[in-house]
Amino acid sequence: MRQLKSIFRIAGLTVLAMALVGLMPAVAEAAEATLNGGNTAWILTATALVLFMTLPGLALFYGGLVQAKNVLSVFMQCFAIACLMSVLWLLGVYSLAFTDGGSANALIGGLDKAFLAGVSFDTLSGDIPESVFFMFQMTFAIITPALIVGAYPERMKFSSVMVFSGLWLILVYAPVCHWVWGGGWLADMGVMDFAGGLVVHATAGTSALVLVACLGNRQGFPKQLHPPHSPGMTMMGAAMLWVGWFGFNGGSALSAGGSAGMAMTVTHLSAATASLVWVVIEWRKFGKPSLVGIVTGTIAGLATITPASGYVGPLGGICIGLAGGIVCYYAVGLIKQRFELDDSLDVFAVHGVGGMLGTVMAGVFAAASLGGVGFGEGGTMSGQVTTQVIGVGATVIWSAIVTWIIVKVTEGAVGLRATDDEITEGLDLSYHGERDYNF
For 163-200, how does the pLDDT look when each residue is reduced to its tens digit (9 = 90+)? 999 999 999 999 999 999 999 999 999 999 999 999 99
Domain membership flag for residue 438: no
Answer whether residue 32 shows pLDDT above 90.
Answer: no
Instruction: Say yes or no: 50 and 3 in one domain.
Output: no
Please give the average per-residue pLDDT across 408-423, as a whole number. 97
Answer whether residue 131 shows pLDDT above 60.
Answer: yes
For 234-278, how does the pLDDT look when each residue is reduced to its tens digit (9 = 90+)? 999 999 999 999 999 999 999 999 999 999 999 999 999 999 999
Domain membership flag for residue 310: yes
107 — phi, psi (to 5°)?
Answer: -105, -40
Instruction: Say yes or no: 171 and 193 in one domain.
Output: yes
Q: What is the pLDDT of residue 300?
A: 98
Q: Which of 96-105, 368-377, 402-411 shows the lowest mean pLDDT across its residues?
A: 96-105
DSSP letter assigned to residue 129: E
Instruction: Say yes or no: 265 and 359 in one domain.
Output: yes
For 325-379, how does the pLDDT look when each residue is reduced to its tens digit (9 = 90+)? 999 999 999 999 999 999 999 999 999 999 999 999 999 999 999 999 999 888 9
The Cα 365–Cα 333 span in angstroms is: 28
Please give the average per-residue pLDDT across 220-241, as a whole number. 94
Structural domain including 306 reads 42-432
Domain membership flag for residue 437: no
Mean pLDDT over each residue of the chain, to the nearest integer: 92
Q: What is the pLDDT of residue 224?
A: 83
CATH number, position 350: 1.10.3430.10
Q: At what angle do helices 71-88 and 158-168 cross, to 10 degrees?
A: 30
Instruction: Say yes or no: 283 and 332 in one domain.
Output: yes
Q: What is the pLDDT of residue 13?
A: 40
User: pLDDT band at residue 430, thresholds of 50, 70 and 90?
Assistant: very high
User: pLDDT band at residue 102, thresholds of 50, 70 and 90?
Assistant: low
Instruction: Say yes or no: 49 and 14 in one domain.
Output: no
Q: Is the pTM of this model over 0.85?
A: yes
Q: What is the pLDDT of residue 101?
A: 67
Q: Look up residue 307 and give its amino acid.
A: P
Q: What is the pLDDT of residue 10?
A: 40
Residue 125's H or E segment, with its range, is strand 124-125
Share of the chain above pLDDT 90, in %: 87
Q: How many domains does the chain have?
A: 2
Please give the average per-residue pLDDT across 14-42, as a whole number. 58
Domain membership flag for residue 37: no
Q: Please list the residues that pair with 260 across neighbouring strands.
A: none
Instruction: Say yes or no: 7 and 93 in one domain.
Output: no
Instruction: Say yes or no: 113 and 19 in one domain.
Output: no
Instruction: Say yes or no: 48 and 16 in one domain.
Output: no
129 — phi, psi (to 5°)?
Answer: -60, 140
Domain membership flag for residue 402: yes
User: pLDDT band at residue 25, thresholds of 50, 70 and 90?
Assistant: very low
Q: Which residues are CB-contacts of 327 (< 8 A; sequence separation ≥ 6)?
A: 353, 354, 357
Instruction: Say yes or no: 382 and 262 in one domain.
Output: yes
Please give the average per-residue pLDDT across 298-305, as a whole number. 98
User: pLDDT band at residue 106, thresholds of 50, 70 and 90?
Assistant: confident
Domain membership flag for residue 439: no
DSSP 384-416: HHHHHHHHHHHHHHHHHHHHHHHHHHHHHHH-S
Q: What is the pLDDT of residue 125?
A: 95
Instruction: Say yes or no: 25 and 54 in one domain.
Output: no
The Cα 428–Cα 439 span in angstroms is: 15
Q: What is the pLDDT of residue 223?
A: 84
Instruction: Say yes or no: 179 and 156 in one domain.
Output: yes
Q: What is the pLDDT of residue 155?
A: 97
Instruction: Say yes or no: 94 and 212 in one domain.
Output: yes
Three-state DSSP at 48 gives helix
